Amino acid sequence: MKVNGKSYRTVWMEGNIVRMIDQLRLPHEFKIHECKTYLETADAIKNMTIRGAPAIGATACYGMAQAVSAGVSIDVAERELGATRPTAHDLFDAIGFFRKRYNGSNAAAVASSYADASVERCRKIGEFGQRLIKDGMRVLTHCNAGWLACVDYGTATAPMYVAHEKGRKFFVWVDETRPRLQGAKLTAWELSQCGIDHAVIADNAAGYFMRRREVDIVIVGADRIAANGDVANKIGTYEKAVLAKESGIHFYVAAPASTFDLEARTGSDIPIEERGGDEVAFIEGVRITPEGSKARNPAFDITPAKYVTGIITEEGILNPWEKPASLV
């Protein structure tokens, strides 16, 4: 994607330094964050300087390359990087990819090949998914499953970007996505960069617009998809899916094959990360809750497959119970 006329990926590697767009500073400041060691890269994943399942995967692969190039054992690197975010399956897909292909001297090449393949997967998601977006449609999305959540193109946003490039006019409702506000901060910023018409709404306003027939389709991303089609995605996705079903609105999930975890039979087998309560209690460093109030902060929820119309992958649009052919 282009920012101020220059093309960027979300994350890349130069020499042994991993560079990434600092998502903690957006939308008010565009800055490149540098990680000089694999531990700094792991920390950037953990503190959400970079986030989004495919982006996490590519970053972890670069981190593995940093580690082994510095003489760190592959087991130690895997342990450190694998502990950063437990829910996103792409993280573990990327680490497994590196382990299988690293031959002792090709670390940077392995990591780059993973990132390049991730870009191509997302590009194909855009090509398959764009046919769902017609002129005049109103699309609702939740959280940020865009270019910033991937190496490029995005997952949920990839169909939007391709449809926009083809000249279609449509509108996007952007859920703010508490508590980290990735929709308001990141998705809205991306759409602004591309000139796609949109509006940010409070998370609990989505049902209002669905009931008023002002939403035609919902497209979200995923952090992990179980073998039965249950989907783990950013907290709040489940309620959007239920509302969409009740309102007769098609609900699509966009995700590459690397997000599928066939060892998880159902959504109940997917580990759900719970982050610190301060993310709920504070906004931009300002406490919004009483001093004595506790806060719970699950980062993801599970949407049962029965609420999913289809899954947009790089291999086509699948029924929720189908698996990408590359995994069968």
Enumerate the active-site residues.
223
My answer on whether omega of the bond before 27 falls inside 30° of 0, hence cis, is yes
Alpha-carbon torsion angle 163, 165, 171, 177, nearest 10: 90
For 303, phi then psi, to 5°, come to -105, 115
Nearest to 226 by CA among 257, 255, 272, 264: 264
How far apart are alpha carbons 328 and 113 in whole angstroms? 23
8 Å CB contact between 69 and 107:
yes
Closest to 133 in 3D by CA, of 196, 216, 72, 190: 216
How far is residue 279's CA from residue 300's CA, in Å, rounded to a whole number?
A: 14
Which residues does residue 260 pair with via DSSP β-bridges, in sequence order? 225
From the centroid of its chain, how far is CA 178? 15
Return all residues near 291 (Cβ < 8 A) that are at least 6 apart. Answer: none
